[in-house]
Amino acid sequence: MTVPTSKDRAFAIELPVWQAPNDNVRITLERDDVRAEFPTWTKNANYSKYIGILDFSNVWALRLERNKHLHYYENREDDEFKSSYWVIPESSWLEGLTKERDITSPNWRAYDKNKYTHYIIQSHDYYIEIIAGDVRFSKRTGRSNDDSK
Distance CA 49, CA 41 (A): 8
CA atoms within 13 A on the CB side of 134: 6
- Is pLDDT at 35 greater than 90 in this prediction? yes
Q: How far does Cα 37 stand from its chain's mean position?
A: 11
Which residues make Cβ contacts (< 8 Å) with residue 114, sequence separation at least 6?
A: 58, 60, 133
With cut-offs at 50, 70 and 90, classify the pLDDT of residue 44: confident
R_g over Cα of the chain: 16
The Cα 135–Cα 34 span in angstroms is 9
Q: Provide CB contacts within 8 A for 129, sequence distance 6+.
A: 61, 62, 63, 64, 65, 93, 118, 119, 120
Range 129-143 average pLDDT: 94
DSSP annotation of 111:
H
DSSP 71: -
Whether 134 has a pLDDT exceeding 90, the answer reads yes
User: Residues 92-133: pLDDT tens digits?
Assistant: 999 999 999 999 999 999 999 999 999 999 888 888 999 999
